[in-house]
Every structure is written in C-alpha cells, then in structure tokens.
Amino acid sequence: MSTTASDASEHAPRPSDPPPGAPEVIRTVGLTKVYPGGVTAVDRLDLVVGRGEIFGLLGPNGAGKTTTAGMLTTRVVPTSGSAHVGGVDVWAHPARAKELIGVVPQTNTLDRALTVRDNLYFHGRFFGMSRAVARRETDDLLERFKLTERAAMPVLALSGGMAQRLMVARAVMHRPSVLFLDEPTAGLDPQSRIAMWEILADLHVDGQTILLTTHYMEEADQLCDRLAIIDHGRVLALDTPEGLKRSTGIDTSVVVSAEGDLAALAALLDREIDGSTSARVLDGTVHLGVTGAEGVLPAVVQVAERGGFRVTDLSITEPTLETVFIDLTGKDLRE
C-alpha cells in the first residue's frame, strides 16, 4: 500500500495519500520496470494522485522519471505491478487509457509537416471532434496559449518556449483526466520557463490534474502540491514541498567556500558547530546543515580559522528541496 507505512495511527492522513475526499486519478502498485540488459529503472513504485493535484516526480538524470511517465501513458511496458489512470488499467485497456490522458513528452513531437494551427486541429479531429468543434477549440487554445499570431506558421518557426506551449495546448485539447508533462521546462530560457509555470498554474486553478517530472527543485517547489523524490527508480521521500523541507530537521543551510582540505573542514565544522546535523563536501564547497541559526556565521568563520582554514565565501539559506535531496542521498541533484 504505502511506502511510508506508519503503524502509529491508521486514520491519520499520510503524506503518501492524496487529499482526503479527492477521487483518485492515478494509482500504481508495485510498478516496476527492468529494461533488457538488467537496469531496474523503476523499482516497486506505489503512488496515488488525487483529482486536481499537481504531483511531481523530482530526481536526477536516470532516476526513472521518463520510464515512470512512460508506464502510465502506455509507452513503456511494465515488468511487474499495476498502473491505473482514471480507474482504467493502463495495460489491460491502453486505448481507453489514452482517451483519459494528455502527454507532453520530453522531446518535441509536433508534426513538422503541419502549421501551428493544424497541429491542434488534427489532434482534435483524431479525438473525434467535428470540423466545427475542432476549429473552435483550436482558435480558443491558440488564444489561451498566446500562439494566435503564429497560427499559420510551420512549427519549425517556433521558439523552444512556443513549441512547448503548443505541446501543452495539444495535450489538453481533448480535456484529459490527467496531464503528463515530462520535464516541461528543460532547456527553456528563464523567461519561457516562468511563462510555462504560469500556464501550468492556470491549468491547476481550472482543476486539471497534472503529473510532472522535473530535476529542477525550484519547479517542484513552486508548482507541486505533493512530490516524490526519486533516485535509482526508488521513492526516497514523498510529501508536500513544505513537509519535505521540514523533514530534514535542518532550518538553515550554510555553504562554506574555503582553501585547504574541505573534507577535514567539514568534519571540523560538524564537530564544533552547535546544532550541526550534517556536513558534506559538494561541488567544491562545504554544506553544513544546522538547527538553530543564531550566530552561526561568525562561529563558522571562527572555527574554520582556528583550524587553519581560510574562508573565501560564506552563504546561508533556508533548506530547499536540494537540501532534502542531499540529505537523503549524500549527493547533489545536478551531479
């Protein structure tokens, strides 16, 4: 059932559950994919997503995000376990499942032979809309996704951000029960990324259930109601962004740049700084987790200098999902 089986109280809501009362839109039980050659890309995934949620799969390259999305959208055959979307068993009834889902894959799948408008129009026709309805829906979506001016252009003329907007417009055209987005903002410039976040937030307000994958912690933090942090195909933690950040027990992260043996500095700080909960060397800096931030910066400088280290830079932040990931895996999301 749940990955975080807590026997403390059966009735207390668990973070692995969707909000109480929300009908469930996605359920996986023990969902597993072992690729030929033996890579276990997804390892016994148990997930329930409720209607109206934005649910995130956050993990580094190769974590199993695309494979998970693939098994939920009929693209990847699971090795074992089950996946239901909108109550439909995805593998028993792939055609029915496809009617319930909208998919924005990690790569551009727009039809390059068609104009912007016709990419939408023919999608509508494919899903059984009459010519008139498909035309009307196309015009509405072009307007809503700010693509009207580009309607007659070939899709090759679109920027990355515009192409991605068109992919989302196409994916929601047939009003899917759940929209899947695989790394919706990977490779986009910051402005297009923010525009995409706004679009997804608007869809959320309209009640659209969304499952997205990402390796951007800010994206997961900003958009998701709940998320699973995954690595090597396994769920390491599943909760709201706030809950995850609280779970580290760290209320401050201190990043120290210094000259010398950083592993020795990390060990020294961990020993000497009051409230230190973890100290690691990542990306050529020492990351120190602390509870109780009072006076920590001068203390760090003092301890380091007394130990013969020269501190060249120092910063202090609240814990982020990156902190959570580092705490869980001992490595950086970007590594």
Ligand X SMILES: Nc1ncnc2c1ncn2[C@@H]1O[C@H](COP(=O)(O)OP(=O)(O)OP(=O)(O)O)[C@@H](O)[C@H]1O
Tell me which residues touch Mg ion (CB under 5 A): 65-66
67 lines the binding site for ligand X (CB under 6 A): yes
Minimum gap (Å) between residue 230 Cβ and Mg ion: 11
Minimum gap (Å) between residue 232 Cβ and ligand X: 8
Task: List the interface residues with ligand X, window 192-231 (CB under 6 A).
Answer: 215
- Distance from C-alpha of 168 to C-alpha of 180, rounded to nearest angstrom: 9
Chain position carrying tokens 């001068």: 298
Residues in the chain: 335
Minimum gap (Å) between residue 310 Cβ and ligand X: 37
Q: Helices in 109-158 by DSSP H: which ranges?
A: 116-126, 131-144
- Distance from C-alpha of 162 to C-alpha of 155, rounded to nearest angstrom: 9
**Residue 70 structure tokens:** 């693939």
User: Which segment (65-73, 84-92, 161-169, 193-201) binds ligand X by CB under 6 A?
Assistant: 65-73
263 lines the binding site for ligand X (CB under 6 A): no
Let me know: does 85 contact 101? Beta carbons within 8 Å: yes
Identified binder of ligand X from the candidate list 16, 32, 66, 177, rule CB under 6 A: 66
Minimum gap (Å) between residue 63 Cβ and ligand X: 4
User: Which segment (63-71, 82-90, 199-207, 306-314) binds ligand X by CB under 6 A?
Assistant: 63-71
**Residue 16 structure tokens:** 């692995």
Decide which of ligand X, Mg ion, none touches 284; Cβ closer than 5 to 8 Å per partner kind. none
63 lines the binding site for ligand X (CB under 6 A): yes
134 lines the binding site for ligand X (CB under 6 A): no
Q: Bridge-partner residues for 110, per DSSP? A: none
62 lines the binding site for ligand X (CB under 6 A): yes
Q: What amino acid is encoded at 219 in this protein?
A: E
51 lines the binding site for ligand X (CB under 6 A): no
Minimum gap (Å) between residue 61 Cβ and Mg ion: 8
Give 260-314 as a DSSP string. Answer: S-HHHHHHHHHHHSTTEEEEEEETTEEEEEES--TTHHHHHHHHHHHTT-EEEEE
State the residues that interact with ligand X by CB under 6 A.
Answer: 35, 37, 39, 41, 59, 61-67, 106, 215
